[in-house]
Amino acid sequence: GAGVSQTPSNKVTEKGKYVELRCDPISGHTALYWYRQSLGQGPEFLIYFQGTGAADDSGLPNDRFFAVRPEGSVSTLKIQRTERGDSAVYLCASSPQTGAVSGANVLTFGAGSRLTVL
């Protein structure tokens, strides 16, 4: 598509529930990133995919968070046993190439999925 698409745009869930957030990157982009933006903060890195594999998952806060990208395009961020502290906007971004950010390899962000855990 023309941009990075994220669904749902809003998700309200109860503490302890399981949540999936979906990201559809720009067509042809091989690199995909997930970020989390809490209230009053800038986006914080969660995980980076090169194609189908997670090349860097150092930003995932704990093992309740997991992400997949099985066919190298759409990615799903999965959160188990949600906690109130997980409430945030989850941003997805893609870039044309993997590896270093460069003049031709800039991240384009989606509108985000706002997760509220009650």
Residues that bind another protein (CB under 8 A): 3-4, 33, 35, 40-45, 48, 55-56, 59, 91, 98-103, 106-112
**Amino acid making up residue 93:** A
CB of 59 to another protein, least distance (A): 7
* CA distances, 89 to each of 45, 51, 99 (Å): 12, 24, 25
CB 10 within 8 A of CB 113: yes
Between 4 and 117, CB nearer to another protein: 4
Between 45 and 66, CB nearer to another protein: 45
64-99 burial: b if 16+ Cβ within 10 Å, else e: ebebebeeebebebebeebeeebbbbbbbbbbeebe
- Token pair, residue 74, equals 């759409």
Between 41 and 116, CB nearer to another protein: 41
Candidates 9, 51, 33; CA nearest to 93 is: 33
Between 34 and 73, CB nearer to another protein: 34
